[in-house]
Amino acid sequence: MDGDRVEIDGGVMEGGGQILRVSTALSCLLGLPLRVRRIRAGRSQPGLRPQHLSGLEMIRDLCDGQLDGGEIGSTEITFTPGKIKGGTHIADTKTAGSVCLLLQVAMPCVLFAASPSELRLKGGTNAEMAPQIDYTVLVFKPIIEKFNFTFDCDIKRRGYYPQGGGEVIVRMSPVKQLSPINLTERGTVTKIHGRAFVAGALPIKLAKDMASAAVRCIRKEIRDLYVNIQPVREPDNQAFGTGSGIIIVAETSTGCLFAGSSLGKRGKNSDRVGIEAAEMLLGNLRHGGAVDDYLQDQLIIFMALANGVSRVKSGPITLHTQTAIHFAEQLTKAKFTVTKSEDEDSTKDAYFIECQGMGMINSNL
């Protein structure tokens, strides 16, 4: 069998968990046996962390596959996929490992299952170094559904660093094929809204301070729009532990969505948290692309699987996106091209990501 294993170097380019997510999802979908070496070689703590391991175990279980080298700290795994099946799949990081990253690895697979799926994902919902669940619901979901599928995301309980303890249930039905997307018209910003939250032992005043600092920061640049950021206290029965943060979303006339977010932590001034999120949003609006910098890399695997040509206009291509493209091309027959946008407005730094998708067909349906 080993002669046919696809060899993946987990230490190149971005060198993190994303290489593992993209390559194991594609391995599962395409029925390609895989060996990944030098896992997360680019990180301060190389090898599998709890969230990567629980993601791998979920993929193994949802396709009755075989996983070797699946333990914490392991820098090499081999994976032999089986047939993707629907039903209920549980992944629990038992830490604040991100449920959103678990969703990234599982979602492409269950789209090509034989029957509907329910993913029960446990861990951190609003954690560092990963999308917040609010981003998944407010930005990722409406855009990714343009590939012609829908999913339902039910936030049962929020979980924060360091304990996690959050739970999200995602339900979706399989598709025959994914349609390509065209996200190239930015339009004008029509609405800016968001939520600043506290949970556990923290006073609502922190949320109010984050919200007003963010609003003041946005006002300096965008004067003619009402900016509505709600300060909220998460109900105790819907949050585990103590946490705070903010997410702000801008919507445009063409249905594009951009976000900025930030998390509070001990010793970090709440104004600073609000300003960080506002500056991230403003940065995402300046480059003239039609998607924000955090959605870029999450679109790649879907563009590769879709049937036809997808085009996305983005800001500067992130290392995460370059990495996703590299491995999507290595594992599928999809072909990507990236070109600089020759806009009249030279202040903009925008690019077109184009992909001729492989046209994956769900043979289980």
Question: Would you name the residues annotated as active-site residues?
Answer: 320
Q: Is 135 annotated as a binding residue?
A: no
**Contact residues for 114 (Cβ-Cβ < 8 A; gap 6+):** 83, 84, 85, 86, 174, 364, 365
Q: Is 294 annotated as a binding residue?
A: yes
Task: Give strand pairing partners of 353.
Answer: 312, 338
3-class SS of residue 128: coil
The torsion region of residue 13 among left (phi > 0), alpha (psi -120 to 50) and beta comes to: left
Greatest Cα pair distance in the chain: 63
Distances (CA, A) of 114 to 87, 175, 176, 222, 295: 9, 9, 10, 48, 28
Q: Is 238 annotated as a binding residue?
A: no
Q: Is 356 annotated as a binding residue?
A: no
Burial (0-12, 13-18, 19+ Cβ within 10 Å), 23: buried
3-class SS of residue 123: strand
Would you give the distance in Å from CA 271 to the centre of its chain? Answer: 26
Burial (0-12, 13-18, 19+ Cβ within 10 Å), 162: exposed
Closest CA to 299 of 282, 285, 314, 280: 314
Distances (CA, A) of 134 to 25, 56, 158: 23, 24, 10
Q: Is 296 annotated as a binding residue?
A: yes
Task: Give strand pairing partners of 124.
Answer: 98
Q: Which two tokens stand for residue 349?
A: 């730094």
Q: Is 295 annotated as a binding residue?
A: yes
Give the CA dihedral 101, 104, 109, 112, nearest 10 degrees: 150
CB atoms near residue 268 (< 10 Å): 13
Q: Binding site membership for ATP: which residues?
A: 104, 294-298
